[in-house]
Amino acid sequence: MKIGIIGEKKSVLAFQALGIQTFGVSNESDLNITLQQIREGDFAVIFVTEDMMQKYGQEIELLMRGALPAVLVVPGVSGVGEKGRESLKRIMERALGSDTLVADP
């Protein structure tokens, strides 16, 4: 199975050298094509940079619901933002009913 990364065109290219399939996305139609390819392809893990999550959060979240691929939000060029932690927070909220119970384990 393959691994992919969705992010800003220029910055994700580095991962191409590591043998990861890169999807450079700069507008909505790019994203739709990318998501289509991911659904059809045999992907185990998809990395998504935070700036992509910021822009197209809703569409990408649909991808997260299935058993595979495993989607991970990673920090992008713009540095560590809130989006990555937010996805973790959402998971905890869903499981515990509130986020206050596990402020800092």
Partner 1 sequence: MESIKATRMEYLHLKRQLKTAQHGHKLLKDKRDGLMKRFMELIRQTKSQRKVLEEKLADSFKRFVLTTAFLHQKELEEIFLAPSAKVLVAVEQENVMSVWIPKFQHKIEGDFKTYSDFSAPLGLRSVLLSFWDSLELMLQLAAQEHSARLLSFEIEKTRRRVNALEYVIIPQVKRKIKYISSKLDEHERSEKIIRMKIKALLES
Residue 104's region, left for phi above 0, alpha for psi from -120 to 50, else beta, is beta
8 burial level (CB within 10 Å; 0-12, 13-18, 19+): middle
**63 touching partner 1, by CB under 8 A:** no
**14 touching partner 1, by CB under 8 A:** yes
8-state DSSP, 67: S
Number of residues that bind partner 1 (CB under 8 A): 41
Give the interface with partner 1 as residue ranges (CB under 8 A). 1-3, 9-11, 13-20, 44-45, 47, 64-65, 67-68, 70-72, 74-77, 79-80, 84-85, 87-88, 91-92, 94-95, 97, 102, 105
